[in-house]
Amino acid sequence: MSANTSKIPVRIAGTGSYLPAKELTNKDLESIVDTTDEWIFSRTGIRSRRIAAEGENTSDLATEAAKNAMEQAGITADELDLIIVATISPDTITPATACYVQHNLGAKSALAFDISAACSGFLYAMEVAQRMISDGNFKNALIIGAEKLSAFTNWDDRNTCVLFGDGAGAAVLTRGDETTGRILSTKIGTDGSQTGILNIPGGGSACPTTVDNADQKLASLAMQGREVFKLAVNAMKRASEAVIEEAGLTAESIKLVVPHQANLRIIDAIADRLTIPNEKVFVNLHKYGNTSAAAVAIALDEAHREGKIERGDNIVLVGFGAGLTWAAAAIQW
């Protein structure tokens, strides 16, 4: 955990997001797998999700979100020192998706690398970037959560294919001062004993896709939903409480919580446990489903652009995902 009291303060200068145009509704899914709009909506809160076009890669989604964030921040590609892309659906195993984004933006002097922390990835990126800025060596960082999960979805598996979607969100972090908002506290954590309950089992070096196993679609998201559900609620509650306490905030002083968008029942349970009313918790998963590393970033941008976050407001971002990983940040806007 870090409470940013001694080093250079770090603030969010701009946010952006990008969603592919194609919508895939629950009704559409009824003709693909044995499911119903009623089941999906009542169990998850999801009504629709976006699907990237053929040839539209994770780096393309990331680049568009980045451009929006940079425009809002008033920062040009030349001024970027650092680009971190959080993703579990990279364009290629190597090089990093961030390298494609650096080239797309023409951000020639920016260091660029990826973070793989699943749905917590955007907040892991925030933690790393704010430390690098806070130490004084970097000034302007672009952090992006971007996913093309449709490329890693088994469209025959109703347990998972109804949950995920594609999209990207971004934020520009920069040096703050006494007159600006700042990231107040952060917490990230990992439990590597639970790698088996949420993963993409194939396609890596442990289980390459071969002619013999290709029909098993092992390079697709697999999840033991109920187990993940319970752990998600507990981990996000604990991470949120930790950053709220470290920042010296109270539940009453928080204007908005922006949680990972996986399941409305998880979001409601967290709000309940934090004693934060539902109207102070931002939800957009009905439109986009679970976009993993992009979810918190897209939600933050939408909340900001809808005027739900204003200068001086205290907000909490919180996520949870495969790893298992969890992360939270308390921010004064």
Contact footprint for ligand UT7 (CB under 6 A): 35, 39-40, 43-44, 119, 158-159, 162, 225-226, 228-229, 232, 262-263, 266, 290, 320-321
Among residues 68, 99, 161, 260, the one annotated as catalytic is 260
Cis peptide leading into 324, omega within 30 of 0?
A: yes
Instruction: Give 18 or 326: the residue with its C-beta nearer to ligand UT7.
Output: 326
Instruction: Give 11 or 260: the residue with its C-beta nearer to ligand UT7.
Output: 260
Instruction: Give 10 or 267: the residue with its C-beta nearer to ligand UT7.
Output: 267
Instruction: Give 64 or 147: the residue with its C-beta nearer to ligand UT7.
Output: 147
Tell me the C-alpha distance between 166 and 224, whole Å: 21
Clarify whether 290 is annotated catalytic: yes
Shortest CB 28 distance to ligand UT7, Å: 13
Among residues 4, 26, 57, 290, the one annotated as catalytic is 290
Could you tell me which residues come within 8 angstroms of residue 53 by beta carbon, excluding any fewer than 6 positions away?
20, 21, 22
Instruction: Give one DSSP letter per residue of 158-188, joined into a string.
Output: HHHHTTB-EEEEEEEEEE--TTS-EEEEEEE
Shortest CB 16 distance to ligand UT7, Å: 22
Shortest CB 90 distance to ligand UT7, Å: 17
Among residues 4, 57, 119, 304, the one annotated as catalytic is 119
Clarify whether 260 is annotated catalytic: yes
Tokens for 33, please give them: 């797998």
Tell me the C-alpha distance between 332 and 312, whole Å: 6
Shortest CB 183 distance to ligand UT7, Å: 23
Backbone angles phi, psi at 323, to 5 degrees: 150, -60
Using the 8-state DSSP alphabet, how is residue 274 labeled?
A: T
Clarify whether 140 is annotated catalytic: no
Q: Could you give the C-alpha distances from 50 to 16, 32, 173, 221, 328, in angstroms and in order?
A: 17, 16, 27, 17, 26
Tokens for 146, please give them: 């971007």
Instruction: Give 71 or 156: the residue with its C-beta nearer to ligand UT7.
Output: 156
Shortest CB 139 distance to ligand UT7, Å: 33
Tell me the C-alpha distance between 217 and 231, whole Å: 26
Q: Could you give the C-alpha distances from 93 to 1, 21, 149, 222, in angstroms and in order?
A: 30, 26, 15, 19
Instruction: Give 142 or 161: the residue with its C-beta nearer to ligand UT7.
Output: 161
Find how far residue 7's CA is from the centre of its chain.
26
Shortest CB 289 distance to ligand UT7, Å: 10
So which residues are the catalytic ones? Answer: 119, 260, 290
